[in-house]
Amino acid sequence: MSEVRSGKAGYHHGDLRNALVDAASELARGGGPEAVVLREAARRVGVSPTAAYRHFANQADLLQAVKDEGQRRLADSMEKVIAETEGPPGGDPAGAAKGRLMALGLGYVRFAVTEPGMYRAAFCRVELGRQPWNQGDGVGDLHPGDVRSFRLLIGAMDALDAAGVMRPGVRTGAEFAAWSSVHGLAMLLLDGPLSDLPPPQRDAIVTRTLTMILDGLTV
């Protein structure tokens, strides 16, 4: 039986999987990872649950796809702020490296506060399909299997180090300290006592936090 139907998503033959991920992502946008239900995604697309199960083994499988989509959108947000703020090529390497780290942090928090449902989905725990960390002998040897946002952060730290502006002895594991600080700030803004701040005060706190992280890493 063909999967082609005139459902709400208007998908074409062969696009059902993507249509289901799109529908499930919209569910996550509205209610976080808990709202991702395979039957509801199928209903929104206009197919039966049986058709959906041809593409996803179970609900956890669909949630993993939504998590991957959330991570992709998070990295896109970070790269977008870099593109908005970076200067022309050939400028001061130190200034460019510092600006890149600030931009990554701003893009990270921007995604969290503008897309809280997808942000939560991007970091929900799904046992199925979890990407392993490549482990060496120490924290400096830890690398994610496939987390583009974290790879962007590693690149920014390496750029600071290459520009000669990183404080001696702080490079190893610096990405974990920065990531933890910015992620913690994002969660305070979403679910903690900072969630009711007006945008001007919120933006000031974000800028101040990112500046302090940068000041702690550089000379």
Give pLDDT tens digits for 40-86.
999 999 999 999 999 999 999 999 999 999 999 999 999 999 999 98
Domain that holds residue 92: 70-217
Q: Which amino acid is at 203?
A: D
Please count the structural domains in the chain.
Answer: 1
In a domain, 50, yes or no: no
Q: How many CB atoms lie within 10 A of CB 166?
A: 20
pLDDT of residue 88: 84
Cα 95 to Cα 1, 91, 98, 108, 184: the distances in Å are 59, 8, 5, 20, 26
Say if residue 12's pLDDT is above 60: no
123 domain residue, yes or no: yes
Q: Give the pLDDT band (50/70/90) at residue 3.
A: very low
| Residue for token pair 């946008």 | 29
Q: Does 119 reside within a domain?
A: yes
**Residue 25 belongs to a domain:** no
In a domain, 83, yes or no: yes
Please write the tens of the pLDDT for every residue from 20-47: 999 999 999 999 999 999 999 999 999 9
Average pLDDT, the chain: 90
The answer to whether residue 55 sits within a structural domain is no
Task: Please give the model's pTM, rounded to 2 decimal places.
Answer: 0.89
User: Is the residue at 141 inside a domain?
Assistant: yes
pLDDT band at 178 (very low <50, low <70, confident <90, very high): very high
What is the b/e burial string over 53-73, where b = at least 16 CB atoms within 10 angstroms of the residue's CB? eebbeebbebbbbbbbbbbeb
The model's confidence at residue 89, banded by pLDDT at 50, 70 and 90, is confident
How far apart CA 173 and CA 177 sit, in angstroms, is 7
pLDDT of residue 139: 61
Residues 6+ apart with CB under 8 A from 188: 194, 195
Provide the residue count of the chain: 219
What is the pLDDT at residue 130? 59
Residue by residue, DSSP assigns 80-102 as HHHHHH---TTS-HHHHHHHHHH
Identity (one letter) of the amino acid at 127? E
| Tens-digit pLDDT profile for residues 134-160 | 666 566 565 555 689 999 999 999 999
- What phi, psi does 21 have (nearest 5°)? -65, -40
Is 211 a domain residue?
Answer: yes
- As a whole number of Å, the end-to-end CA separation of the chain is 65
Q: Which residue has the tokens 């600030």?
A: 102
CATH number for the domain that contains residue 100: 1.10.357.10
